[in-house]
Chains A and B, each alone.
Chain A
Amino acid sequence: MFDFLHVLHLHDATVRSVLFGSLLIGATGGVLGSFAVLRRRSLMGDALAHAALPGVALAFLWTGSKSLPVLISGATCTGVLGVLLIQFITTRTRIKADAAIGIVLTVFFGIGIVLLTHIQRSLVGNQAGLDKFLFGQAASMVEDDVRVMSVMSLLIIVVVLLLYKEFKALIFDPKFLQSLGYSLQRVDLALMGLIVLTVMVGLQAVGVVLIAAMLITPAVAARFWTERLHVMVVLAAFIGGLSGASGTFLSAQAPRVPTGPVMVLVATGLFVLSGLLAPRRGLLARWRRQRSNVLRERRHHFLRALVVLQERSDNAPRFRVDELVQELGWERRRVAGEARRLRRLHLVDCRDGHVQATAQGLAEGTFVVKSHRLWEHYLVYRDIVNADHVDRPADEVEHLLTPDILERLEEILQRDHGIDTERVVDIHGRGSQYRPAGRERNEVGT
């Protein structure tokens, strides 16, 4: 273990501070990204970063200095200019935001590349290091850089904490916030300003091309796990920080692999995991829910068929698979499979080619049948559908009716329509209490 750390240079103060720097960048990106994504400004971050490139080059050409504050200032100038240009285009012409972002992003990036190439050609020897702004090189951060970045990150986080309430309301319901006397422009400007700063802080380590991912990916990953904004922000900071630090760490192991892409890959890995595994919003959870709905529906239909067959045959308890096939309209294989599944659940017994519901299965089947019939009656008596159309809508809803709802249905049908709900049968069938001509209309709902 000690050897391992030694190989990774973790004992080295510089390496440690670089790691700390990228952790901060990732965390800050996650925090601001949460707001940016919810406000649908995530592509703005992308435009901002790309538009920052010419600023880096110009700042260098102007001052000849490669110190981080100078380059970041230049980057901020052109970045903000780019965003303003996008806003100008969208408000003053009919061009929509996505097209405007596309235009501005590419042209600024193009200018940036031209300038970088120019610097590379004309000032040989001095240019090394500027191209790291393309894809990011965390390892090139010196301790001074890390100090600058730490202070900026801290500042950003403090402002977010102070304006958390305003940001939340701005994104959820801007008109309401405005009606309370808050200036939307100011809150929005503060948020945009923080997003700008966040992008600029991460520029050197992640690079202009990919930094948008450090805004978007951790935030979207965090959203899968929670329904609360403050939890989302903290989680996104955690995911961002983890991707930042481990990205830097991994890219340091293989020389000349830029940091940005590795960070983004780690963040994306966490995003995919979140998307699959998150308990409520995740894909697997969703599939599981759908699957269990399908299975419940199948079980209900099967048990209902048993109860209906029993009614029809004067309480014969057992039925051949053929009879069930005919009643359900399913393939024989599915009927047999379902019978086996329900036997495992102790809802039916299967013996010599016959199926019989257990007491438990019978109870559930009776409940389903009653739900179906009460719901049918309700729909017809409330004029919601015609009697001859009622089967399908009832089919869709009966699986979802709870005993509570059923009780209310019974109450309504008894009170308003004089239906004996204990004796309710198939609305189309023999002995039905349904009398089309005599039914009342236009009752007020409850």
Chain B
Amino acid sequence: MTDASRPDGAPQDVEGASRPNASAGASTGDSIEASINQAADPSTDSPSIQLLPDLDPASIPIRIHDMTIAYHRKPVLWDVDLDVPEGQLVGIVGPNGAGKSTMILAIMNLVPKASGWVRIYGKPYQEMRRIVGYVPQRESVDWDFPISALEVVTMGRFGHVGWIRRPSKQDKQLAHEALEKVGMGEYAHRQISQLSGGQQQRVFLARALAQDAKVYLMDEPFAGVDAATERAIIDILMELRAQGKTILVVHHDLQTVTRYFDWLIMLNMRVVASGPTEEVFNDTTLNKTYGGRLTVLSQAAQAVQDYERGRG
């Protein structure tokens, strides 16, 4: 069903907007300077997407190839080609509806792909899921659920525990340590609705820490938290990076982008730019990401959906 949601005919009909970065995929041999020059020149439509073609695939934490995602037959991510380098703090920015969360879900294979693939250190997610940690958006769960902070964090161990078996003493110990790490040790037995927004976010982070992963995917961990929590979270992320872990963070606050992230992915239904933050984060890319120029892409997406609806 999902394969059918991307007809070969429809997108090409729309002003050629459908494959803006197809050339980037082909010309990965180009030097970094070339892609920067392209980005600096507002007249060219070529994006500055830095891939890592020379590296061994088994050393690349996340590689996305030619991926298109559609929800209810409406494309939300087009032709994503991405490499995420190891041991970096990577930000994903883009306007609402740009497909940031979708990209994270797609990396974990939680949404069907219309095309393309994702590899974690050269292998499919299913084989590598134990080295991937996930922090969902805070609003995605019901915080009135009858459960304690420690129980939530213990869920981070479930991937290692497996079906039917119970978390061991050691798992609980690890969960407790993760809570201590985010400064929430004394709240272990609080019910989660009695925690503040920042504390809830810390609990989610602790759960990911309890997963003991190498690659972390975090959906807006800084949304709606107080300054102290933001500080605490970024400290932990930097510590993880120092341990050689790779952290992908969906982020909203453009003010802190250059301070927080080594590598930046700018997204608006397609990848506008991807590379070292100081190289890709500039007025041109910001304009392309947040400006109105991409509306043609969403119009095309709408056209595809209408077309499909008419056909189905």
Q: Which residues of A contact B (CB under 8 A)?
A: 38, 162-163, 165-166, 168-169, 171-173, 175-182, 223, 226-229, 231-232, 444-446
Q: Which of A180, A226, A445 contacts B158 (CB 8 A)?
A: A180
Please measure, in the bound complex, the distance between the C-alpha atom of A187 and the C-alpha atom of B227, giving whole angstroms: 39
Report the tally of A-B residue pairs with Cβ distances under 8 A: 72
Chain B, interface residues (CB within 8 Å), range: 20 to 34
B161 proximity list for chain A (CB < 8 A): 165
Please state if A229 and B164 are interface contacts (CB–CB under 8 Å): no
Q: Which of B132, B191, B193 contacts A179 (CB 8 A)?
A: B132
Please measure, in the bound complex, the distance between the C-alpha atom of A163 and the C-alpha atom of B110, giving whole angstroms: 22
Chain B residue with minimal CB distance to A164? B166
Please measure, in the bound complex, the distance between the C-alpha atom of A172 and the C-alpha atom of B155, giving whole angstroms: 10
Contacts A175-B110, A178-B110, A182-B163; is A223 near B146 (CB within 8 Å)?
yes
Instruction: Say yes or no for B198: interface residue by CB 8 A criterion.
Output: no
A176 proximity list for chain B (CB < 8 A): 134, 136, 155, 207
Q: Which of A171, A181, A227, A229 contacts B126 (CB 8 A)?
A: A181
Q: Which of B105, B126, B141 contacts A172 (CB 8 A)?
A: B141
Please state if A165 and B227 are interface contacts (CB–CB under 8 Å): no
The 10 listed contacts between A and B (C-beta, < 8 Å) are A166-B163, A172-B145, A173-B136, A178-B110, A181-B126, A228-B146, A229-B146, A231-B146, A445-B227, A446-B227
A227 proximity list for chain B (CB < 8 A): 146-148, 191, 193
* Interchain nearest-CB distance for B159 vs A (Å): 4
Chain A residue with minimal CB distance to B107? A179
5 cross-chain pairs, A with B, having the tightest CB-CB distances, nearest first: A180-B159, A227-B191, A179-B134, A181-B129, A179-B108
Q: Which of B111-138 contact A (CB under 8 A)?
A: 126, 129-130, 132, 134, 136
B193 proximity list for chain A (CB < 8 A): 227
Q: Which of A168, A173, A229 contacts B140 (CB 8 A)?
A: A173
Please measure, in the bound complex, the distance between the C-alpha atom of A171 and the C-alpha atom of B142, giving whole angstroms: 9
B130 proximity list for chain A (CB < 8 A): 181
B155 proximity list for chain A (CB < 8 A): 169, 172-173, 176-177
B163 proximity list for chain A (CB < 8 A): 166, 182
Please measure, in the bound complex, the distance between the C-alpha atom of A165 and the C-alpha atom of B207, giving whole angstroms: 15
Please state if B129 and A179 are interface contacts (CB–CB under 8 Å): yes
Please state if A175 and B136 are interface contacts (CB–CB under 8 Å): yes
Chain B residue with minimal CB distance to A187? B163
Contacts A228-B146, A228-B147, A229-B147 known; 6 new A-B pairs at CB < 8 A? A175-B105, A177-B155, A179-B110, A179-B129, A181-B130, A223-B146
Please state if A226 and B167 are interface contacts (CB–CB under 8 Å): no
Chain A residue with minimal CB distance to B193? A227
Please measure, in the bound complex, the distance between the C-alpha atom of A229 and the C-alpha atom of B191, giving whole angstroms: 11
Please state if B159 and A38 are interface contacts (CB–CB under 8 Å): no
* Interchain nearest-CB distance for B96 vs A (Å): 19
* Interchain nearest-CB distance for B151 vs A (Å): 8
* Interchain nearest-CB distance for B71 vs A (Å): 14
Instruction: Say yes or no for B152: interface residue by CB 8 A criterion.
Output: yes
| Most chain B beta carbons < 10 A, residue from A163, A178, A182, A227 | A227
B105 proximity list for chain A (CB < 8 A): 175
